[in-house]
């Protein structure tokens, strides 16, 4: 049996096409707690939490990523990179609210 959390997580995974299960879980939590009020800052903070606990590897900068800073310290171009995911997550929240 799928829980409501499973359903949100599946929607987030399907629509974002992310392979990062931890980040999908964080984004699903944003949908549940912020709903359609998700901001670019929220998306950045979830991403930064995820990166903060990633091991540094050949393909991942992990904890050393230069964008693990408060959202307000990012350049406008870096801040804009979160828009795609914020839009998707707000759409998921809208669809969930409509289904209730």
Other Cβ atoms less than 10 A from the Cβ of 38: the count is 23
Report pTM.
Answer: 0.91
What letters, b where the CB count within 10 A reaches 16 and e where it falls short, cover 47-83?
bbebbeebeeeeeeeeeeeebbeebeebeeeebeebe
Per-domain boundaries in the chain: 4-99
Distance CA(39)–CA(76), nearest Å, equals 14
pLDDT in tens, 28-69: 999 999 999 999 999 999 999 998 887 776 666 767 788 899
- Tens digits of residue pLDDT in 15-26: 999 999 999 999
Q: Is 52 helix (H, G, I), strand (E, B) or coil?
A: helix
């Amino acid at each position: 049996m799928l829980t409501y959390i499973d359903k949100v997580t599946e929607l987030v995974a399907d629509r974002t096409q992310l392979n990062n299960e931890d980040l999908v879980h964080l984004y699903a939590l944003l949908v549940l707690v912020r709903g359609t009020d998700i901001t670019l800052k929220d998306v950045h903070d979830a991403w930064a939490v995820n990166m903060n606990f990633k091991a540094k590897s050949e393909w991942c900068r992990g904890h050393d990523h230069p964008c693990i800073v408060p959202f307000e310290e990012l350049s406008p171009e870096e801040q804009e990179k979160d828009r795609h995911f914020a839009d998707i997550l707000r759409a998921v929240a809208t669809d969930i609210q409509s289904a209730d």
